Amino acid sequence: MKILLTGGLGYIGSHTAVELIKAGHEVIIVDNLSNSERSVKDKIERITQQEVIFYKADLRKEKAIRQIFEDNTVDAVIHFAGLKAVGESVSKPLEYYENNICGTINLLKVMKDYNVNNLVFSSSATVYGASNPMPLTEDCPTSATNPYGRTKLFIEEILKDYYNANKSMNIVILRYFNPVGAHDSGIIGENPKGIPNNLMPFVAKVACGKLDELHVFGNDYDTKDGTCIRDYIHICDLAEGHLAAVNKLNEKCGLKIYNLGTGTGYSVLDVVNTYNKVCENKVKYAFAPRREGDVKECYACPDKALQELGWQAKRNLYDMCLSSYTYEQNQAKRK
Ligand code: UD1
């Protein structure tokens, strides 16, 4: 298939591009480079030995998107593009609504005009809000606690309405848990601009001496070691989940929602201790107050994805930490 990846030079998009190409699909990438680098295109091509068509364009500009569909016969779209920093979304809500929601609406309009009926959407476990019992199943009630989460939730609702009015659409909504780690080649990985907000990229920078120490946000939660529990999933497992979702579209699936997680929760200290095994104890940490908005635990029930997509995560926490460290070391060598 010829698959358009919006935000395809980002962390999840780039790993998915590699996976799709490996499986024989043709990939077109559109990205506005707001949180990614043009060089990632070359890296994808280096890993796959295949050429990738790339457009620098913004989904808020409908005309630019139209041009991509004019130039290419697109069979399916995987829609990753969007702003994703929770804290920033609180201070810049309109930017989040405009980028994420208006961008999606433009994309849907153009897809309709060009008769493209297949869509995979990048959603997030954040749509489960804060009050559900664990593990989270796809039928748990949804809610949002910040503008970023609200954009994901609203887009899911928009897609449901849109599907009800256009039953020829095939839409797979993927709710990601906590994607971490990097491609085995060590060539692509997570490369946030500035100081990372998320745990794994922060730990990676401490391990490589670029940041002094990790602040563990809260050690007084009601968990086994007092720190929060999350469902960390290797980015390559997540990328393979997208391949399974694309295969599902081909079954004329209608609208489906799947969790992409491992089903296992690890604490912040589990992550730090495992990382310290791969980097010879370079991750120093100190306990700090809780971070506002954090929930005590969040992990998936991944059964539906196994039953209906035939997909399941294969890599463990050690693989996640090792690949993250290898990538971060490569980055450090380049600078
Ligand atoms: C965060 C977002 C979530 C988003 C996801 C993307 C928040 C509140 N949630 O999830 O909406 O979908 O990223 O991957 O931001 N931690 C530390 N020290 C740090 C950084 C994190 O102790 O410097 C802890 C956090 O308190 C949390 C865990 O590590 O318990 C994971 O944090 P993070 O990687 O930011 O992910 P989430 O908060 O789960």
Q: Tens digits of per-residue pLDDT, 256-274? A: 999 999 999 999 999 999 9
pLDDT at 334: 75
Give 23-59 as a DSSP string: TT-EEEEEE--SSS-THHHHHHHHHH-S--EEEE--T
Ligand 1 atom 2 nearest Cα: 86
Catalytic residues: 148
**DSSP H or E stretch at residue 2:** strand 2-6
Ligand 1 atom 22 nearest Cα: 216
Q: Average the pLDDT over 90-105 and give the result.
A: 98
Query: What residue ranges line ligand 1, CB within 6 angstroms?
Result: 86, 124, 126, 149, 178, 197-199, 202, 214-217, 228, 230, 268, 291, 293-294
Q: Average the pLDDT over 291-308 and give the result.
A: 96
Q: Tens digits of per-residue pLDDT, 167-212? A: 999 999 999 999 999 999 999 999 998 999 999 999 999 999 999 9
Which pTM value belongs to this model? Answer: 0.98
Ligand 1 atom 6 nearest Cα: 178
* Ligand 1 pocket mutation pick from 287, 294, 295 by most atoms within 8 angstroms of CB: 294
Rounded Cα distance between 95 and 231, Å, is 28
Q: Tens digits of per-residue pLDDT, 140-153? A: 999 999 999 999 99
